[in-house]
A and B are shown apart, each in its own frame.
Chain A
Amino acid sequence: MSTSNPGSNRVQFTRTAAGLVDADLSVALVYAEISGQFFGPVEARHPDRVVNVGIREQLLVNVGAGMALTGLRPIVHTFGSFLVERAFEQVKLGFGHQGVGGVLVGSGGSFDVAEGGRTHQTPGDVALLDTLPGVSIHAPSTPQEVDAVLRRTVAGAGLHYVRVVEQVNTRSFPEARGRLHVVRRGSGATVIALGPVLDAALAATEGLDVTVLYSSTVRPFDGRGLRAVLGTPEVVLVEPWLAGTSSRVVAEALHDVPHRLLALGVGREELRRYGSPEDHVRAHGLDAAGLRRSLDGFLGAAT
Protein backbone atom coordinates (compact mmCIF):
# COMPACT_ATOMS: atom_id res chain seq x y z
CA MET A 1 0.00 0.00 0.00
CA SER A 2 1.34 3.37 -0.92
CA THR A 3 0.20 6.87 -1.59
CA SER A 4 0.27 8.04 -5.16
CA ASN A 5 1.37 11.35 -6.43
CA PRO A 6 -1.48 12.58 -8.60
CA GLY A 7 -0.35 13.56 -12.05
CA SER A 8 2.57 11.21 -12.17
CA ASN A 9 1.18 8.18 -13.96
CA ARG A 10 2.21 9.47 -17.36
CA VAL A 11 5.63 10.52 -16.10
CA GLN A 12 6.04 7.06 -14.62
CA PHE A 13 5.17 5.52 -17.98
CA THR A 14 7.82 7.56 -19.77
CA ARG A 15 10.40 6.77 -17.08
CA THR A 16 9.72 3.04 -17.15
CA ALA A 17 9.60 2.94 -20.94
CA ALA A 18 12.97 4.67 -21.16
CA GLY A 19 14.43 2.19 -18.70
CA LEU A 20 13.12 -0.73 -20.73
CA VAL A 21 14.63 0.67 -23.92
CA ASP A 22 17.94 1.12 -22.09
CA ALA A 23 17.91 -2.39 -20.68
CA ASP A 24 16.74 -4.47 -23.63
CA LEU A 25 18.00 -4.26 -27.21
CA SER A 26 14.78 -5.79 -28.50
CA VAL A 27 12.54 -3.02 -27.12
CA ALA A 28 11.61 -0.09 -29.36
CA LEU A 29 9.63 3.04 -28.56
CA VAL A 30 7.59 4.80 -31.22
CA TYR A 31 5.73 8.01 -30.53
CA ALA A 32 4.05 10.85 -32.38
CA GLU A 33 5.29 14.10 -30.82
CA ILE A 34 3.09 13.58 -27.75
CA SER A 35 5.22 13.05 -24.61
CA GLY A 36 8.31 14.05 -26.56
CA GLN A 37 9.26 16.34 -23.68
CA PHE A 38 9.95 13.21 -21.65
CA PHE A 39 11.68 11.11 -24.31
CA GLY A 40 14.54 13.37 -25.36
CA PRO A 41 17.34 11.70 -23.36
CA VAL A 42 16.40 8.12 -24.23
CA GLU A 43 15.96 9.07 -27.87
CA ALA A 44 19.44 10.57 -27.88
CA ARG A 45 20.87 7.37 -26.40
CA HIS A 46 19.04 5.04 -28.79
CA PRO A 47 18.07 6.92 -31.95
CA ASP A 48 17.50 3.69 -33.87
CA ARG A 49 15.05 2.27 -31.34
CA VAL A 50 13.29 5.43 -30.23
CA VAL A 51 11.45 6.99 -33.15
CA ASN A 52 9.30 10.08 -33.23
CA VAL A 53 7.17 9.82 -36.38
CA GLY A 54 5.80 13.35 -36.13
CA ILE A 55 2.10 14.04 -36.11
CA ARG A 56 1.32 10.90 -38.08
CA GLU A 57 -0.80 8.55 -36.03
CA GLN A 58 -1.71 6.07 -38.75
CA LEU A 59 1.95 5.74 -39.53
CA LEU A 60 2.77 5.53 -35.82
CA VAL A 61 0.82 2.33 -35.36
CA ASN A 62 2.02 0.64 -38.53
CA VAL A 63 5.63 1.59 -37.88
CA GLY A 64 5.34 -0.16 -34.52
CA ALA A 65 3.79 -3.17 -36.26
CA GLY A 66 6.52 -3.17 -38.91
CA MET A 67 9.15 -3.19 -36.19
CA ALA A 68 7.33 -6.10 -34.57
CA LEU A 69 7.48 -7.95 -37.89
CA THR A 70 11.28 -7.84 -37.58
CA GLY A 71 11.21 -9.27 -34.06
CA LEU A 72 11.37 -6.10 -31.97
CA ARG A 73 8.95 -5.47 -29.11
CA PRO A 74 7.47 -2.01 -29.76
CA ILE A 75 5.96 0.38 -27.26
CA VAL A 76 3.64 2.63 -29.28
CA HIS A 77 2.43 5.79 -27.64
CA THR A 78 0.28 8.85 -28.13
CA PHE A 79 -3.00 10.16 -26.73
CA GLY A 80 -5.52 7.33 -26.65
CA SER A 81 -7.94 9.19 -28.87
CA PHE A 82 -5.44 9.26 -31.74
CA LEU A 83 -3.83 5.92 -31.00
CA VAL A 84 -7.00 3.88 -30.80
CA GLU A 85 -9.76 5.82 -32.49
CA ARG A 86 -8.01 7.65 -35.32
CA ALA A 87 -5.77 4.74 -36.14
CA PHE A 88 -8.08 1.87 -35.31
CA GLU A 89 -7.72 0.11 -38.65
CA GLN A 90 -3.97 0.20 -38.22
CA VAL A 91 -4.36 -1.47 -34.83
CA LYS A 92 -6.77 -4.02 -36.27
CA LEU A 93 -4.69 -4.86 -39.34
CA GLY A 94 -1.14 -3.79 -38.52
CA PHE A 95 -1.03 -5.72 -35.28
CA GLY A 96 -4.15 -7.89 -35.05
CA HIS A 97 -4.40 -9.28 -38.57
CA GLN A 98 -0.63 -9.56 -39.06
CA GLY A 99 -0.53 -11.58 -35.86
CA VAL A 100 2.24 -9.57 -34.24
CA GLY A 101 2.34 -8.10 -30.77
CA GLY A 102 3.26 -4.88 -29.08
CA VAL A 103 2.35 -2.58 -26.23
CA LEU A 104 0.09 0.34 -27.11
CA VAL A 105 0.13 3.03 -24.47
CA GLY A 106 -2.59 5.64 -24.66
CA SER A 107 -2.68 8.65 -22.39
CA GLY A 108 -5.47 11.12 -21.81
CA GLY A 109 -8.27 8.63 -21.33
CA SER A 110 -11.79 9.81 -20.68
CA PHE A 111 -11.13 12.93 -18.62
CA ASP A 112 -7.47 13.95 -18.34
CA VAL A 113 -7.77 16.65 -20.94
CA ALA A 114 -11.10 17.91 -19.69
CA GLU A 115 -10.33 21.48 -20.69
CA GLY A 116 -9.46 20.29 -24.18
CA GLY A 117 -12.92 18.94 -24.83
CA ARG A 118 -14.08 15.95 -26.85
CA THR A 119 -11.25 15.88 -29.37
CA HIS A 120 -8.79 14.75 -26.72
CA GLN A 121 -11.07 12.46 -24.75
CA THR A 122 -11.60 8.80 -25.49
CA PRO A 123 -14.24 7.17 -23.31
CA GLY A 124 -14.79 4.66 -26.14
CA ASP A 125 -11.25 3.30 -26.42
CA VAL A 126 -11.77 0.20 -24.30
CA ALA A 127 -15.02 -0.75 -26.02
CA LEU A 128 -13.45 -0.27 -29.43
CA LEU A 129 -10.36 -2.33 -28.65
CA ASP A 130 -12.59 -4.98 -27.13
CA THR A 131 -13.75 -5.76 -30.67
CA LEU A 132 -10.31 -7.19 -31.42
CA PRO A 133 -9.76 -10.81 -30.49
CA GLY A 134 -6.97 -11.46 -28.03
CA VAL A 135 -6.04 -7.92 -27.09
CA SER A 136 -5.21 -7.42 -23.41
CA ILE A 137 -6.36 -4.15 -21.85
CA HIS A 138 -4.88 -2.62 -18.71
CA ALA A 139 -5.93 0.38 -16.64
CA PRO A 140 -3.21 0.86 -14.05
CA SER A 141 -4.25 3.26 -11.33
CA THR A 142 -1.04 4.31 -9.64
CA PRO A 143 2.54 4.92 -10.77
CA GLN A 144 3.52 1.60 -9.17
CA GLU A 145 0.89 -0.21 -11.22
CA VAL A 146 1.92 1.64 -14.38
CA ASP A 147 5.49 0.55 -13.85
CA ALA A 148 4.58 -3.07 -13.13
CA VAL A 149 2.19 -3.54 -16.02
CA LEU A 150 4.53 -1.96 -18.50
CA ARG A 151 7.39 -4.20 -17.43
CA ARG A 152 5.22 -7.28 -17.61
CA THR A 153 3.62 -6.54 -20.98
CA VAL A 154 6.83 -5.47 -22.67
CA ALA A 155 8.59 -8.60 -21.43
CA GLY A 156 5.61 -10.71 -22.51
CA ALA A 157 3.97 -11.47 -25.82
CA GLY A 158 0.81 -10.50 -27.65
CA LEU A 159 -0.97 -7.21 -28.14
CA HIS A 160 -1.62 -5.01 -25.10
CA TYR A 161 -3.25 -1.66 -24.53
CA VAL A 162 -2.15 0.21 -21.44
CA ARG A 163 -4.43 3.09 -20.54
CA VAL A 164 -2.42 5.66 -18.61
CA VAL A 165 -4.50 8.40 -17.00
CA GLU A 166 -3.94 10.83 -14.18
CA GLN A 167 -6.87 9.71 -12.07
CA VAL A 168 -5.37 7.52 -9.38
CA ASN A 169 -6.38 5.16 -6.65
CA THR A 170 -4.89 5.59 -3.18
CA ARG A 171 -3.72 2.01 -3.01
CA SER A 172 -1.52 0.09 -5.40
CA PHE A 173 -2.17 -3.58 -5.95
CA PRO A 174 0.51 -6.04 -6.98
CA GLU A 175 0.36 -7.94 -10.21
CA ALA A 176 -1.96 -10.91 -9.80
CA ARG A 177 -1.97 -12.27 -13.35
CA GLY A 178 -5.16 -10.42 -14.08
CA ARG A 179 -7.09 -11.81 -11.14
CA LEU A 180 -9.62 -9.68 -9.34
CA HIS A 181 -8.47 -8.51 -5.93
CA VAL A 182 -10.99 -8.85 -3.13
CA VAL A 183 -10.68 -5.44 -1.48
CA ARG A 184 -13.65 -5.76 0.83
CA ARG A 185 -15.76 -8.80 1.55
CA GLY A 186 -19.46 -8.63 2.33
CA SER A 187 -22.44 -10.91 2.07
CA GLY A 188 -24.51 -8.79 -0.30
CA ALA A 189 -23.96 -7.46 -3.78
CA THR A 190 -20.64 -7.51 -5.61
CA VAL A 191 -19.14 -4.23 -6.81
CA ILE A 192 -16.44 -4.54 -9.46
CA ALA A 193 -14.13 -1.52 -9.79
CA LEU A 194 -11.99 -1.57 -12.92
CA GLY A 195 -9.14 0.92 -13.08
CA PRO A 196 -8.94 4.20 -11.20
CA VAL A 197 -12.42 4.16 -9.70
CA LEU A 198 -11.64 2.11 -6.61
CA ASP A 199 -11.38 5.00 -4.15
CA ALA A 200 -14.79 6.29 -5.18
CA ALA A 201 -16.28 2.77 -5.11
CA LEU A 202 -14.95 2.16 -1.60
CA ALA A 203 -16.24 5.49 -0.37
CA ALA A 204 -19.61 4.88 -2.00
CA THR A 205 -19.99 1.45 -0.38
CA GLU A 206 -19.02 2.61 3.10
CA GLY A 207 -21.40 0.94 5.55
CA LEU A 208 -22.93 -1.35 2.94
CA ASP A 209 -22.62 -5.12 3.28
CA VAL A 210 -21.14 -5.63 -0.17
CA THR A 211 -18.07 -7.21 -1.70
CA VAL A 212 -15.75 -4.86 -3.58
CA LEU A 213 -13.45 -6.29 -6.23
CA TYR A 214 -10.70 -4.44 -8.04
CA SER A 215 -8.51 -5.08 -11.03
CA SER A 216 -6.34 -2.98 -13.29
CA THR A 217 -6.67 -5.77 -15.85
CA VAL A 218 -9.75 -5.05 -17.94
CA ARG A 219 -9.23 -7.79 -20.52
CA PRO A 220 -9.05 -10.64 -20.15
CA PHE A 221 -11.67 -10.36 -17.45
CA ASP A 222 -11.40 -12.62 -14.41
CA GLY A 223 -14.80 -14.26 -14.63
CA ARG A 224 -13.76 -17.11 -12.35
CA GLY A 225 -12.74 -14.64 -9.68
CA LEU A 226 -16.15 -13.03 -9.86
CA ARG A 227 -17.96 -16.36 -9.61
CA ALA A 228 -15.82 -17.42 -6.69
CA VAL A 229 -16.93 -14.54 -4.47
CA LEU A 230 -20.42 -13.89 -5.75
CA GLY A 231 -22.87 -13.58 -2.86
CA THR A 232 -26.31 -12.32 -3.71
CA PRO A 233 -26.99 -12.16 -7.44
CA GLU A 234 -26.49 -8.40 -7.72
CA VAL A 235 -23.46 -7.17 -9.60
CA VAL A 236 -22.42 -3.55 -9.97
CA LEU A 237 -19.79 -2.70 -12.54
CA VAL A 238 -17.88 0.58 -12.21
CA GLU A 239 -15.53 1.57 -15.02
CA PRO A 240 -14.25 5.01 -16.01
CA TRP A 241 -14.90 4.56 -19.73
CA LEU A 242 -18.13 3.89 -21.61
CA ALA A 243 -20.78 2.48 -19.31
CA GLY A 244 -21.50 -1.13 -20.14
CA THR A 245 -18.16 -1.83 -21.81
CA SER A 246 -17.58 -4.81 -19.55
CA SER A 247 -21.21 -5.94 -19.30
CA ARG A 248 -20.50 -8.52 -21.98
CA VAL A 249 -17.77 -10.25 -20.02
CA VAL A 250 -19.75 -10.18 -16.78
CA ALA A 251 -22.70 -11.71 -18.63
CA GLU A 252 -20.44 -14.43 -20.04
CA ALA A 253 -18.98 -15.16 -16.61
CA LEU A 254 -22.47 -15.47 -15.10
CA HIS A 255 -24.19 -17.01 -18.10
CA ASP A 256 -25.73 -19.77 -15.96
CA VAL A 257 -26.36 -17.66 -12.86
CA PRO A 258 -29.55 -15.63 -12.64
CA HIS A 259 -28.34 -12.14 -11.80
CA ARG A 260 -28.99 -8.43 -12.09
CA LEU A 261 -26.31 -6.12 -13.41
CA LEU A 262 -25.91 -2.38 -12.96
CA ALA A 263 -23.27 -1.04 -15.34
CA LEU A 264 -21.87 2.34 -14.36
CA GLY A 265 -19.41 4.35 -16.37
CA VAL A 266 -19.12 7.25 -18.74
CA GLY A 267 -22.38 8.15 -20.45
CA ARG A 268 -22.73 7.94 -24.20
CA GLU A 269 -23.87 11.50 -24.65
CA GLU A 270 -21.27 14.11 -25.49
CA LEU A 271 -21.43 16.64 -22.68
CA ARG A 272 -19.81 19.57 -24.52
CA ARG A 273 -18.39 20.78 -21.24
CA TYR A 274 -14.84 21.66 -20.25
CA GLY A 275 -13.82 22.12 -16.61
CA SER A 276 -11.72 19.65 -14.64
CA PRO A 277 -11.47 15.86 -14.64
CA GLU A 278 -13.31 15.94 -11.31
CA ASP A 279 -16.17 17.82 -12.96
CA HIS A 280 -16.50 15.10 -15.55
CA VAL A 281 -16.27 12.30 -13.01
CA ARG A 282 -19.09 13.97 -11.12
CA ALA A 283 -21.16 14.64 -14.23
CA HIS A 284 -21.08 10.96 -15.14
CA GLY A 285 -22.00 9.94 -11.61
CA LEU A 286 -18.66 8.29 -10.98
CA ASP A 287 -17.79 10.21 -7.82
CA ALA A 288 -18.58 8.62 -4.45
CA ALA A 289 -21.88 10.46 -4.04
CA GLY A 290 -23.02 9.60 -7.56
CA LEU A 291 -22.08 5.97 -7.20
CA ARG A 292 -23.88 5.79 -3.86
CA ARG A 293 -27.05 7.18 -5.41
CA SER A 294 -26.89 4.58 -8.17
CA LEU A 295 -26.13 1.78 -5.69
CA ASP A 296 -28.98 2.75 -3.41
CA GLY A 297 -31.39 2.80 -6.30
CA PHE A 298 -30.23 -0.55 -7.61
CA LEU A 299 -29.97 -2.35 -4.31
CA GLY A 300 -33.11 -0.75 -2.97
CA ALA A 301 -34.95 -2.20 -5.90
CA ALA A 302 -33.84 -5.66 -4.83
CA THR A 303 -35.59 -5.55 -1.48
Chain B
Amino acid sequence: MSEIKRLMSLMTGDEKHSAAATSTLDVIQVLYERVLDVSPQRAGDAHRDRFLLSKGHGPMAYYAILCAQGFFPEDWLTGWASWDSPLGRHPDRNLVPGVEIASGSLGHGLPLAVGTALGLRAQGIGSRVVVLVGDAELDEGSNHEALELASALELDALTVVVVDNRSSSYAVPGRIEQRFAVEGWHAVTVDGRDHDVLEKALSHREVGRPNAVVAVVEEKK
Protein backbone atom coordinates (compact mmCIF):
# COMPACT_ATOMS: atom_id res chain seq x y z
CA MET B 1 0.00 0.00 0.00
CA SER B 2 2.83 2.40 0.76
CA GLU B 3 4.09 1.88 -2.80
CA ILE B 4 0.67 2.84 -4.24
CA LYS B 5 0.59 5.89 -1.96
CA ARG B 6 4.02 6.88 -3.18
CA LEU B 7 2.95 6.57 -6.80
CA MET B 8 -0.20 8.59 -6.12
CA SER B 9 1.86 11.30 -4.47
CA LEU B 10 3.73 11.72 -7.75
CA MET B 11 0.43 13.02 -9.16
CA THR B 12 -1.05 14.80 -6.18
CA GLY B 13 2.17 16.14 -4.75
CA ASP B 14 1.41 15.10 -1.20
CA GLU B 15 0.24 12.18 0.90
CA LYS B 16 -3.29 13.50 1.38
CA HIS B 17 -5.68 12.86 -1.43
CA SER B 18 -9.16 13.93 -2.37
CA ALA B 19 -12.07 11.62 -1.68
CA ALA B 20 -12.60 11.09 -5.38
CA ALA B 21 -9.07 9.78 -5.74
CA THR B 22 -8.92 7.48 -2.75
CA SER B 23 -12.46 6.13 -2.52
CA THR B 24 -11.69 3.70 -5.32
CA LEU B 25 -8.18 2.82 -4.19
CA ASP B 26 -8.84 -0.33 -2.19
CA VAL B 27 -11.30 -1.80 -4.66
CA ILE B 28 -9.02 -1.30 -7.65
CA GLN B 29 -6.01 -2.58 -5.76
CA VAL B 30 -7.80 -5.76 -4.70
CA LEU B 31 -9.07 -6.30 -8.23
CA TYR B 32 -5.64 -6.02 -9.86
CA GLU B 33 -3.68 -7.79 -7.14
CA ARG B 34 -6.06 -10.58 -6.22
CA VAL B 35 -9.05 -10.96 -8.55
CA LEU B 36 -8.58 -10.08 -12.21
CA ASP B 37 -6.77 -12.27 -14.72
CA VAL B 38 -5.06 -9.45 -16.55
CA SER B 39 -1.53 -8.19 -17.01
CA PRO B 40 0.46 -5.98 -19.37
CA GLN B 41 1.63 -9.09 -21.21
CA ARG B 42 -1.99 -10.10 -21.86
CA ALA B 43 -3.31 -6.66 -22.78
CA GLY B 44 -4.26 -7.82 -26.28
CA ASP B 45 -5.51 -11.26 -25.26
CA ALA B 46 -9.21 -11.69 -26.04
CA HIS B 47 -9.48 -13.97 -23.00
CA ARG B 48 -8.23 -11.42 -20.46
CA ASP B 49 -10.57 -10.20 -17.78
CA ARG B 50 -11.86 -6.67 -18.32
CA PHE B 51 -11.94 -3.90 -15.75
CA LEU B 52 -13.95 -0.88 -16.83
CA LEU B 53 -13.51 2.25 -14.72
CA SER B 54 -16.78 4.02 -15.33
CA LYS B 55 -16.24 6.63 -12.66
CA GLY B 56 -13.48 8.28 -14.62
CA HIS B 57 -12.96 11.38 -12.51
CA GLY B 58 -10.30 11.26 -9.83
CA PRO B 59 -8.35 8.50 -11.60
CA MET B 60 -5.12 8.83 -9.57
CA ALA B 61 -5.59 5.56 -7.72
CA TYR B 62 -6.30 3.82 -11.03
CA TYR B 63 -3.19 5.25 -12.66
CA ALA B 64 -1.04 4.39 -9.66
CA ILE B 65 -2.20 0.77 -9.68
CA LEU B 66 -1.84 0.37 -13.45
CA CYS B 67 1.66 1.77 -13.09
CA ALA B 68 2.46 -0.57 -10.21
CA GLN B 69 1.20 -3.46 -12.38
CA GLY B 70 3.64 -2.43 -15.09
CA PHE B 71 1.23 -1.14 -17.73
CA PHE B 72 3.23 2.06 -18.15
CA PRO B 73 6.40 3.59 -16.71
CA GLU B 74 6.47 5.56 -13.50
CA ASP B 75 7.68 8.75 -15.12
CA TRP B 76 4.27 9.05 -16.81
CA LEU B 77 2.78 9.94 -13.45
CA THR B 78 4.68 13.17 -13.01
CA GLY B 79 3.27 15.86 -15.18
CA TRP B 80 -0.04 14.05 -15.56
CA ALA B 81 -2.85 16.00 -17.23
CA SER B 82 -0.27 18.21 -18.95
CA TRP B 83 -0.12 18.68 -22.72
CA ASP B 84 2.51 15.99 -23.22
CA SER B 85 1.05 13.43 -20.83
CA PRO B 86 -1.19 10.53 -21.92
CA LEU B 87 -2.71 10.56 -18.44
CA GLY B 88 -5.61 12.97 -18.22
CA ARG B 89 -8.06 13.95 -15.52
CA HIS B 90 -10.24 11.35 -17.18
CA PRO B 91 -8.60 8.22 -18.60
CA ASP B 92 -8.53 7.50 -22.33
CA ARG B 93 -8.27 3.93 -23.59
CA ASN B 94 -6.61 5.15 -26.76
CA LEU B 95 -3.80 6.79 -24.81
CA VAL B 96 -3.16 4.56 -21.80
CA PRO B 97 -2.17 0.87 -22.00
CA GLY B 98 -4.43 -1.29 -19.87
CA VAL B 99 -7.31 1.17 -19.85
CA GLU B 100 -10.35 -0.63 -21.28
CA ILE B 101 -12.71 2.34 -21.72
CA ALA B 102 -12.34 6.08 -22.00
CA SER B 103 -14.54 7.49 -19.26
CA GLY B 104 -15.46 10.67 -17.49
CA SER B 105 -19.03 11.37 -18.47
CA LEU B 106 -21.15 9.44 -16.01
CA GLY B 107 -23.45 6.58 -16.83
CA HIS B 108 -21.57 4.96 -19.70
CA GLY B 109 -19.40 2.29 -18.09
CA LEU B 110 -22.11 -0.11 -16.96
CA PRO B 111 -23.93 -0.06 -20.33
CA LEU B 112 -20.59 -0.59 -22.08
CA ALA B 113 -19.84 -3.43 -19.67
CA VAL B 114 -23.14 -5.10 -20.53
CA GLY B 115 -22.22 -4.91 -24.20
CA THR B 116 -18.74 -6.21 -23.45
CA ALA B 117 -20.13 -9.14 -21.50
CA LEU B 118 -22.57 -9.90 -24.32
CA GLY B 119 -19.79 -9.66 -26.90
CA LEU B 120 -17.57 -12.05 -24.97
CA ARG B 121 -20.41 -14.50 -24.42
CA ALA B 122 -21.29 -14.46 -28.11
CA GLN B 123 -17.70 -15.48 -28.85
CA GLY B 124 -17.66 -18.21 -26.24
CA ILE B 125 -15.14 -16.34 -24.08
CA GLY B 126 -15.66 -16.89 -20.37
CA SER B 127 -13.68 -13.90 -19.13
CA ARG B 128 -15.07 -11.67 -16.42
CA VAL B 129 -16.13 -8.07 -16.83
CA VAL B 130 -15.89 -5.89 -13.75
CA VAL B 131 -17.11 -2.32 -13.89
CA LEU B 132 -16.66 0.28 -11.17
CA VAL B 133 -19.31 2.96 -10.75
CA GLY B 134 -19.78 5.61 -8.13
CA ASP B 135 -22.87 5.74 -5.94
CA ALA B 136 -23.87 9.13 -7.34
CA GLU B 137 -23.05 7.95 -10.84
CA LEU B 138 -25.59 5.20 -10.37
CA ASP B 139 -28.24 7.94 -10.39
CA GLU B 140 -27.82 8.20 -14.16
CA GLY B 141 -30.78 6.50 -15.82
CA SER B 142 -28.62 4.71 -18.35
CA ASN B 143 -27.33 2.52 -15.51
CA HIS B 144 -30.82 1.41 -14.67
CA GLU B 145 -31.43 0.41 -18.25
CA ALA B 146 -28.27 -1.67 -18.00
CA LEU B 147 -28.87 -3.35 -14.68
CA GLU B 148 -32.31 -4.49 -15.75
CA LEU B 149 -31.02 -6.02 -18.99
CA ALA B 150 -27.97 -7.64 -17.38
CA SER B 151 -30.12 -9.75 -15.09
CA ALA B 152 -32.74 -10.46 -17.74
CA LEU B 153 -30.00 -11.84 -20.00
CA GLU B 154 -28.34 -13.66 -17.10
CA LEU B 155 -24.95 -12.03 -17.59
CA ASP B 156 -23.13 -13.94 -14.90
CA ALA B 157 -19.71 -12.85 -16.16
CA LEU B 158 -20.54 -9.30 -15.10
CA THR B 159 -19.70 -7.74 -11.75
CA VAL B 160 -20.60 -4.19 -10.83
CA VAL B 161 -18.81 -2.66 -7.91
CA VAL B 162 -20.47 0.46 -6.60
CA VAL B 163 -18.04 2.51 -4.55
CA ASP B 164 -20.35 4.17 -2.08
CA ASN B 165 -18.92 7.25 -0.45
CA ARG B 166 -22.43 8.59 0.16
CA SER B 167 -22.02 11.30 -2.42
CA SER B 168 -25.44 10.85 -4.00
CA SER B 169 -28.21 13.31 -3.28
CA TYR B 170 -31.32 11.62 -1.84
CA ALA B 171 -29.30 8.54 -0.87
CA VAL B 172 -30.95 6.05 1.45
CA PRO B 173 -28.56 3.65 3.21
CA GLY B 174 -29.01 0.11 1.93
CA ARG B 175 -31.02 1.06 -1.09
CA ILE B 176 -28.28 0.49 -3.65
CA GLU B 177 -28.01 -3.18 -2.76
CA GLN B 178 -31.80 -3.50 -2.73
CA ARG B 179 -32.00 -1.92 -6.15
CA PHE B 180 -29.78 -4.62 -7.65
CA ALA B 181 -31.39 -7.39 -5.64
CA VAL B 182 -34.89 -6.49 -6.77
CA GLU B 183 -33.72 -6.80 -10.38
CA GLY B 184 -32.43 -10.29 -9.71
CA TRP B 185 -28.75 -9.65 -9.16
CA HIS B 186 -26.66 -11.29 -6.51
CA ALA B 187 -25.92 -8.25 -4.34
CA VAL B 188 -23.93 -7.61 -1.19
CA THR B 189 -22.80 -4.56 0.76
CA VAL B 190 -19.30 -4.72 2.20
CA ASP B 191 -16.64 -2.62 3.90
CA GLY B 192 -14.91 -1.01 0.96
CA ARG B 193 -11.62 -0.74 2.84
CA ASP B 194 -11.31 -4.36 3.95
CA HIS B 195 -9.24 -6.17 1.34
CA ASP B 196 -10.14 -9.72 2.38
CA VAL B 197 -13.84 -8.94 2.40
CA LEU B 198 -13.55 -7.17 -0.94
CA GLU B 199 -11.66 -10.08 -2.46
CA LYS B 200 -14.36 -12.51 -1.41
CA ALA B 201 -17.20 -10.33 -2.68
CA LEU B 202 -15.51 -9.44 -5.97
CA SER B 203 -14.51 -13.04 -6.68
CA HIS B 204 -18.04 -14.31 -6.24
CA ARG B 205 -19.76 -15.76 -9.28
CA GLU B 206 -23.17 -17.31 -9.54
CA VAL B 207 -24.65 -19.19 -12.47
CA GLY B 208 -27.22 -17.10 -14.29
CA ARG B 209 -26.96 -13.97 -12.17
CA PRO B 210 -24.76 -10.90 -12.42
CA ASN B 211 -22.93 -9.85 -9.30
CA ALA B 212 -23.16 -6.48 -7.52
CA VAL B 213 -20.85 -5.38 -4.76
CA VAL B 214 -21.61 -2.20 -2.87
CA ALA B 215 -18.30 -1.13 -1.32
CA VAL B 216 -18.96 1.42 1.40
CA VAL B 217 -15.91 3.57 1.93
CA GLU B 218 -17.00 6.41 4.16
CA GLU B 219 -19.92 8.15 5.72
CA LYS B 220 -21.27 11.34 4.26
CA LYS B 221 -19.82 14.26 6.20
A66–B114 touching, CB < 8 Å: yes
Q: Does the CB pair B123–A72 fall under 8 Å? A: yes
> A58 at the A/B interface (Cβ < 8 Å)?
yes
Q: Which A residues fall within an 8 A CB radius of B?
A: 25, 28, 30, 48-49, 51, 53-54, 56, 58-59, 61-72, 74, 89-90, 93-94, 97-99
Find out whether the CB atom of B93 lies under 8 angstroms from the CB atom of A99: yes
Bound together, the chains give a CA A90 to CA B101 distance in angstroms of 13
- Complex: chain B residue closest to A51, CB-CB: B118
- Chain B residues near A94 (CB, 8 Å)? 108, 111-112
Since A54-B148, A62-B114 are in contact, a sample of 13 more A-B pairs with Cβ atoms closer than 8 Å, ordered by chain A residue number, is A28-B118, A51-B153, A54-B149, A61-B111, A62-B108, A62-B112, A63-B114, A65-B115, A66-B117, A67-B115, A67-B116, A68-B115, A93-B102
Chain B, interface size category, equals 20 to 34
Stretch at the interface among B139-147, B182-190, B209-217: B139-147
Q: Which residue of B lies closest to A99 (CB)?
A: B94
Query: Chain A residues with Cβ under 8 A from B121's Cβ?
Result: 48
In the complex, whether B46 has a CB less than 8 A from a CB of chain A is yes
Given A65-B112, A90-B111: A70 and B120 interface contact (C-beta under 8 Å): yes
Are the CB atoms of A58 and B101 closer together than 8 Å?
Answer: no
Residues of A within 8 A of B114 (CB): 59, 62-63, 66
Given the known interface contacts A53-B145, A56-B145, A59-B145, the answer about A48 and B115 at a Cβ–Cβ threshold of 8 Å is no
Inter-chain contacts of A25 with B (CB < 8 A): 123
Is the beta-carbon distance between B112 and A69 smaller than 8 angstroms?
yes
CB contacts (< 8 Å) of A69 on chain B: these are: 100-101, 112, 115-116, 119
Q: Are A67 and B93 in contact (CB under 8 A)?
A: no
